[in-house]
Amino acid sequence: MARFEPLPTVRFAEGELRIIDQTLLPGRYEILSLTTVDAVCDAIRLLRVRGAPALGIAGAYGLLVAISEGGGGNLRDRVDDAARRIAATRPTAVNLGWALGRMLIASRTGDVSDLGAVLEREAHAILAEDLAMSEAMTSHGATLIADGDAVLTHCNTGGLCSGGGGTALGAVFAAAADGRSVRVFADETRPLLQGARLTAWECAQRDVPVTVLVEGAAASLLSSGNVASVFVGADRIAANGDVANKVGTLGLAILARRAGVPFYVVAPSSTIDSAIPDGAHIPIEHRGDDEVIRFGGIATAPSGVDAYNPAFDVTPADLVDAIVTERGVHRFPYQFTGKR
């Protein structure tokens, strides 16, 4: 299968964590250099870097920033403190805690004088593994896309959500790179418009035809018969296959089942949390009211009203036709156990 070039979403060089600032897209493409742990935490919290796999990589490299930043006290204590601070930024995406856990285990090996080199090797390994997993899972996902298909997506699941290769949208790009004609319908993804801003931008960069729609139009689109499948990513997958993903995913899954349209989840095995039995046990992040009641600094609702703003919802496993990982295409019923 032909491949496509990954984006430099999260990289580390010269003591700096370098990310594509996703809050500036599509208007401006800018690499942001992060040189303090505070800056890393802010970038994650403010969604300058986002997407479960990308958060794991950013968290891992954030511990190298803690070493480069310097400061007093025991070096391992500084790394531990940085890990706690970074882990607290976003609770739902399991990859963040998973990658930080790997880094902390690595930090306990060898002499403290080698800590920087040990952690750098581990962080680079996490990035390399993510790129390899992206290549495998997008290849598997592409087998579910036929020539001429139109695919509906939600949020952003391309290179921007990962080390650069992508998950669900990456499967579309893999199909296109293999010569298949494919079209993307991208949910706008309110309130922060990751579909309109990021998915549409990635499609344009790769010359994949894309049409943006508001989530309220998804029901009519799915019932029209003009969509072959729905492809989404995941921020955490429970042992039974329940999927936490960007809020609005659950509604799409219900609509897709009603319309008889296959609903697929594409995510690396690092997103599967076998310690969580089902979706009811997945912590759901709630974000600030201003994301909903203001847009571009302008009020879109009366002063003093509250907003309901969960960042994620949980789709039951029985609404998911397949979960695609780097290990292949998994079909319902799911039972993910053991180590990731």
Tokens representing 196 are: 């309109």
Q: Could you give the dihedral angle defined by the CA atoms of residues 253, 164, 100 and 232, in that order, rounded to the nearest 10 degrees?
A: 0
State which amino acid sits at residue 72.
G
CA separation for the pair 64, 82 (Å, rounded): 10
**Largest Cα–Cα distance in the chain?**
63
CB 270 within 8 A of CB 237: no
Residue 327's CB is within 10 A of a number of other CB atoms, namely: 12
Amino acid at 85: R
Separation CA 136–CA 321 (nearest Å): 19
| 42 has catalytic annotation | no
Measured CA to CA, the distance from residue 11 to residue 21 in angstroms comes to: 12
Contacts of 284 (CB under 8 A, 6+ apart): 92, 244, 310, 311, 312, 313, 314
Dihedral sign (CA 312, 315, 317, 319): negative
From 235, 242, 273, 321, the catalytic residue:
235
Q: How many angstroms separate the CA atoms of 118 and 107, rounded?
A: 7
Whether 171 contacts 266, CB under 8 Å: yes
Work out whether strand 16-20 and strand 31-34 pair parallel, antiparallel, or are unpaired.
Answer: antiparallel
Give the pair of three-digit tokens for residue 238: 């429970």
What region does 191 belong to: left with phi over 0, alpha with psi -120 to 50, or beta?
alpha
Residues marked active site are found at: 235
